[in-house]
Homo-oligomer: A and B are copies of this chain.
Amino acid sequence: MKFKKVLSVGIAESKLEPRYWGRIDGLCEKRVMLSEGSSEIKKQLSDADCLLINPFVFKVDKSLIDAAPSLKFICVLATGYGVVDCAYAATKGIAVCNIPGYATESIAELAIAVLLEYARDIEHAKQMARAGNYSDTPRFPVYELKGKKIGVIGAGRIGIRVAEIASAFGSEVFYWSRNKKADLESKGARHREVEKLLSECEVISLHLALNKDTEMFLNEKRIGKIRHNSVLVNLSPNELVDFNALEKRLAKGNLIYIADHTDEMAPEQIEQLSKYEGFVPYPPIGYQTIEATSSKQEIFVGNMENFLKGTPTNKVN
């Protein structure tokens, strides 16, 4: 079985390695690539049975689905698929698949990496050594993760891995999630109510997906509860955190905020936070590993192959 026509929208050639495009070509009789702004999209959709999309630049709403009477399958090149009207697609018998978990380890490892970077003042140390200062002392009292109270908010795949790794460092691990996780508890992590976790932990790592329930999860009240001089690591969407309350707290000088979704912040927001020493910005490097990049493409093309075999994987509707 092959697709008759695969239409890809908003996916630059460079987003997949040639060998993956090659595998896609082996799965279809014809492939058409359009940019997200193309005027031809609806026309090309009219006889496409497979649609590949970059959800960061392209939305699939009812009208688009109505324009695609032959469509059987939408494959999203990302974890998030909120831009696709999945329920409507389901009524038309169209399966939607996404790419979950491909960067779990990369993001969990980055959370520990940026935490250790801060805890040991690594960047400063490197710079001093290169400047010929080989007897450097750190700019503030640096510390071990062992024995530190680390609070993980969100116990999905990434949060669980952060908790597990922190345990290996000998940290005292707490977590919050709506439901207790027996698996995590058996590894020594203890469940805490959010406010309690925030006020007790010396390190807090945020690993929640963004949805209506989690938007502004760290609201003004909760941000006020965060323990003095805690380190808050946020490799999750900025929308989880009340920006104004965060800025107020950073202005007090008793919070360290390490975040990597800087590409999704408004320039004036970055500028505002950058006034404070406690703001430690990173580019969005959570997904930037060989392993995550290759796993993402592998799962994407795998989703297409498995759909054709009649055993769809990562179907979300």
Contact = CB atoms under 8 A, between A and B. Distances in A.
Contacts of A128: 283
A87 interface: no
A13 interface: no
A117 to B, nearest CB: 5
A37 to B, nearest CB: 20
Interface size class of A (residues with CB under 8 A): 35 or more
A133 interface: yes
A80 interface: no
A125 interface: yes
A141 B105 contact: no
Given A112-B116, A126-B280, A282-B126, A134 B290 contact: no
A285 B120 contact: yes
Nearest to A128: B283
A127 B138 CA distance: 18
| Copies of this chain present | 2
Interface string A122-143: 1101111110111111100111
Interface string A27-69: 0000000000000000000000000000000000000000000
A170 interface: yes
Which of the listed residues A141, A284, A285, A292 has the most CB atoms from chain B within 10 Å of its own CB? A285
A284 B134 CA distance: 7
A290 B122 contact: no
Nearest to A285: B125
B285 A134 contact: no
Contact of A129 (B106, B167, B168, B282): B282
A109 B171 CA distance: 12
Nearest to A280: B126
A291 interface: yes
A244 interface: no
Interface stretch (A17-25, A144-152, A221-229): A144-152
- 9 closest A-B pairs by CB: A168-B168, A136-B283, A113-B116, A134-B263, A134-B262, A129-B281, A105-B146, A144-B291, A141-B290
15 contacts: A109-B144, A109-B145, A113-B116, A117-B126, A120-B288, A126-B282, A130-B274, A134-B263, A134-B281, A134-B284, A136-B285, A138-B288, A141-B290, A147-B291, A165-B165
